[in-house]
Amino acid sequence: MRNFGTLLASVLLAAGFTSASPVAAPAPHNVTLNARQNPTEVIIQMFGWSWDSIAAECEAFIGPAGYSWVQVSPPQEHITGGQWWTEYQPVSYKIQSKRGNRSQFQNMVSRCRNSGVRIIADAVINHMSAINSGTGVGGSSFSQFNYPGIYQRQDFHTCNRNGNNDIMNYNDRYEVQNCELNNLADLATESDYVRGKIAAYLNDLLSLGVEGLRIDAAKHIPTGDISNILSRLSRVVYITQEVIFGPGEPILPSEYTRNGDVQEFRYTYTLRDAFLGGTINNLRDFSTWGWVAGGQANAFVANHDTERDHFATPLKYDSPNNAYVLAHVFSLAHPYGQPSVLSGYSWSNFDTGAPDNGAGRCSGSGGSGGWLCQHRWLAISAMVGFRRTVGTAALNNWQSPANNRIAFGRGTTGFVAINRATSAWTGTFTTSLPNGSYCDVISGNPVNGACSGFAVNVSGGRFTATIPALSALAVHTGARGTGTGGGNTPPPASGTVAVNFRSTATTVLGENIFVVGSLAQLGAWNPDAAVALSSASYPVWTGTVNVAPNTEFQYKFLRKGPNGVQWTSDPNFTVRTPASGSQTLNDSWR
């Protein structure tokens, strides 16, 4: 968690299976109890999803699609409230949160495990609540520095600095690890008693079948304290630690590799800068960039904090120019780190919690009801199969003939080309893939030997293909198939679909037409946040909003004028976006 308040916050796929409606039967992966990563395995951070909905999604899609891990929200009891960050304010170690109770948690772990998916719990162990008194979601009452039966005054740090004990100076190691992160009661993790309590909580999670831990706010705990706590665990599990690199700060991500993987935020920020505005041409090799080694990094395009970044334009689900999808294609194709994919919901306000009390909903290759289900987006789920097929093969055949155009292979089993330029790229590519015909898994899968999308023919270490603007192509030996190619154009690996509203409405002077609806981009039904339409084609009022593909949403039009706000009559208009491209909605005022 970052400074919230100001910023916060197996081998099923052997055949390159990428369809949105999986048909392969799930088979359990072998579990290796190893704190070190397996870089071919992909983690999904299911942000805000309830335990019951994760269990169902493990069975319906996640396991069959070949993902290996799900990182779940913090499972311990926390303060009440609708905002997402309440889960990062523990009040007891009861397994009872907004996302479900202990039996629901255990049921999720076991149903996911039976689908070949292991659970990583988000472990909030640096601190307890910032709120000074109240009752948690599981009924436990607490007051400042007093969590009955667990912690009392002596179990917390008071750094006696800055008037409010808050961290002000990130260049001071003592402050970062002994003062309070945004007023959160800071646990004295040097104490044997506190270490024992934390370890008992983590061992309780392990007893329920948890096989990985993400250590939240790890930078605010000395690395040796984390080592001591982990040494008390009943078995070895996968560890990833949130250590946000800050330029010039004394606490370094590399201090934490002794405990397990480290979340390498320099990777996240580099992808953001490259895919949002800079160039992608220098992303070949990060080994000399001063980051933690790929074998010790947990790498992602976005997590719940970075998508809410107040300090820079974040790379997020609705970034323009397909940037979010293209960055994922890169991240899942490139060998650096153990990759995580965020799967969350659309939001307009920093604090907004998950829709429907966390009951995540997906269908086809997208989400519904505000859920995004990024893990189902075709380009992202296709790349999970790519990553499994290429395994640990080295990156080779790097080609970048023009700005924002890169292509590279992974050994003799996979090849990817990413075109972040705004015109189509027709190229002849050098590859180590064997002779044969391959399906571009981003545009379609092999179905009975034929590609449902674009195909390439490799011959003598070369193939020719056209990659549309702002799109990508990925082929691997797990997805062979024949089909047309050459001049054929695959559909874009679209992260968003342009929805064009065209509302025919006659108005009088002073009246304007707006659209409002269930999505954040449509004001989440708040008439004050409705999107103004243009009268340039009067009496047709027009406007365009970008929406995730395969997403169902509802909307109505508003007439705002001197006589107040009038809504179109019931029922709500309901539509679903296509998988890519654009959609035009012609409606008349009623």
From CA 286, how far away is CA 278, in angstroms rounded?
A: 17
Which residue is nearest to ligand NAG, using beta carbons? 485
Shortest spacing between CB 23 and ligand NAG, in angstroms: 19
Site stretch for ligand NAG (CB under 6 A), options 120-128, 173-181, 387-395, 568-576: 568-576
Nearer to ligand NAG, 271 or 516 (CB): 516
Per-residue tokens: 437: 């015909």
Of 225, 242, 318, 587, the catalytic one is 242
Is 435 an interacting residue with respect to ligand NAG (CB under 6 A)?
yes
Shortest spacing between CB 517 and ligand NAG, in angstroms: 8
Site stretch for ligand NAG (CB under 6 A), options 170-178, 266-274, 307-315, 564-572: 564-572
Q: Which of 399, 416, 462 is nearest to 435 (CA)?
A: 462
Give the CA dihedral 455, 461, 462, 467, nearest 10 degrees. 50
Is 30 an interacting residue with respect to ligand NAG (CB under 6 A)?
yes
Scanning residues 101 to 140, which ones bind ligand NAG (CB under 6 A)?
101-104
Shortest spacing between CB 300 and ligand NAG, in angstroms: 26
**What are φ and ψ of residue 277, in 5° steps?**
-165, -30
Shortest spacing between CB 103 and ligand NAG, in angstroms: 5
Q: Find the binder of ligand NAG among 73, 319, 437, 443 (CB under 6 A).
A: 437
Beta bridge partners of 553: 575
Is 487 an interacting residue with respect to ligand NAG (CB under 6 A)?
no
Asked about 242 being catalytic, the answer comes back as: yes
Is 54 an interacting residue with respect to ligand NAG (CB under 6 A)?
no
Q: Find the binder of ligand NAG among 239, 455, 467, 515 (CB under 6 A).
A: 455
Shortest spacing between CB 451 and ligand NAG, in angstroms: 8
Q: Which of 510, 509, 508, 523 is nearest to 555 (CA)?
A: 523
Nearer to ligand NAG, 72 or 301 (CB): 72
From CA 546, how far away is CA 311, in angstroms rounded?
A: 23
The interface mask with ligand NAG, positions 324-363, x = CB under 6 A, is: ----------------------------------------
The sign of the CA dihedral 362, 364, 366, 369 is negative
Nearer to ligand NAG, 287 or 459 (CB): 459
Q: Find the binder of ligand NAG among 290, 586, 588, 590 (CB under 6 A).
A: 586
Task: Identify whether the C-beta of residue 354 lies closer than 8 Å to the C-beta of residue 332.
Answer: no
Alpha-carbon distance values, 222 to 121, 173, 187 (Å): 20, 9, 12
Nearer to ligand NAG, 14 or 393 (CB): 14
User: Is 107 in a helix, a strand, or coil?
Assistant: helix
From CA 89, how far away is CA 46, in angstroms rounded?
A: 19
DSSP assignments along 318-359, one per residue: T-STTHHHHHHHHHHHS-SSEEEEEE-B--SSTT---GGGG-
Length of the chain, in residues:
590
Q: Which of 242, 229, 327, 227 is nearest to 292 (CA)?
A: 242
Shortest spacing between CB 554 and ligand NAG, in angstroms: 5
Would you name the residues annotated as active-site residues?
A: 216, 242
Q: Which residues form the interface with ligand NAG (CB under 6 A)?
A: 11, 30, 101-104, 435, 437, 455-457, 459-460, 482, 484-486, 502, 518, 525, 554, 570-572, 584, 586
